[in-house]
Amino acid sequence: MTDEARILGLFYSDQDNIIYDKVKFSESLSNERKNELSMLSFKFLGPVFLTAASGSEEDWKIEFIESSLSLRRGVTLDVDIIQSFFSLNSSIKSEDGITNLFALIGSEYTEDINEIYNILAKYIHPSICQGKIANEGLVGSRFNFHKFIKNELERGIKFLDYSLGSSRKVPWEKQQKYTCVGLIERLISEGSKTSNLYTFDKSDPLRKEALMLIPSFYVMSILPDYYENLIDETLNLFNKTSVYSNIRLIHLRCLDKRIVYLEEFVVENDIKKSYGAILVQDNKNIETSNNIFHYKKNLRLILDSPKELNDIINKINPRFKYIKWATKSNEDLDNIKMHLDSINN
pLDDT band at 47 (very low <50, low <70, confident <90, very high): low
* pLDDT single digits (tens) 157-202: 999 999 888 766 655 555 688 999 999 999 988 878 899 999 999 9
Q: Say if residue 200 is in the same domain as residue 310.
A: yes
Residue 171 belongs to some domain of the structure: no
Q: Is the Cβ–Cβ distance between 23 and 9 less than 8 Å?
A: yes
Return d(Cα 161, Cα 99) in angstroms, integer.
22
Task: Check residue 53 and give its pLDDT.
Answer: 47
Q: Say if residue 334 is in the same domain as residue 185.
A: yes
**Residue 319 structural domain:** 178-339
Residue 16 belongs to some domain of the structure: yes
Return d(Cα 277, Cα 272) in angstroms, integer.
17
Q: How many domains does the chain have?
A: 2
Task: Check residue 277 and give its pLDDT.
Answer: 96
Q: Say if residue 189 is in the same domain as residue 303.
A: yes
Residue 89 belongs to some domain of the structure: yes
Q: Say if residue 33 is in the same domain as residue 92.
A: yes
Largest CA distance in the chain: 69
Residue 233 belongs to some domain of the structure: yes
Given a cut of 90, is residue 118 above it in pLDDT?
yes
**Which residues, in sequence order, are CB contacts of 203 under 8 Å at separation 6+?**
345
124 DSSP assignment: I
Q: Say if residue 158 is in the same domain as residue 226.
A: no
Residue 168 belongs to some domain of the structure: no
Share of the chain above pLDDT 70, in %: 88
Q: What mean pLDDT do residues 68-85 have?
A: 74
Q: Say if residue 158 is in the same domain as residue 262.
A: no
Q: Is the Cβ–Cβ distance between 87 and 65 less than 8 Å?
A: yes
178: part of which helix (H) or strand (E)?
strand 178-189
Q: Say if residue 16 is in the same domain as residue 144.
A: yes
Q: Say if residue 74 is in the same domain as residue 190.
A: no
Return d(Cα 256, Cα 206) in angstroms, integer.
20
Residue 169 belongs to some domain of the structure: no
Residue 200 belongs to some domain of the structure: yes
Residue 270 belongs to some domain of the structure: yes
Q: Say if residue 197 is in the same domain as residue 150.
A: no
Given a cut of 60, is residue 48 above it in pLDDT?
no
What CATH number did the domain enclosing 68 receive? 3.30.450
- pTM here? 0.91
Return d(Cα 26, Cα 344) in angstroms, integer.
53
Q: Considering only 13-27, 169-183, 303-317, which range has the smallest mean pLDDT?
A: 169-183
Q: Say if residue 159 is in the same domain as residue 187.
A: no
Q: Say if residue 52 is in the same domain as residue 198.
A: no
Q: Which of 137, 163, 189 is the last residue of a domain?
A: 163
Q: Say if residue 152 is in the same domain as residue 234.
A: no
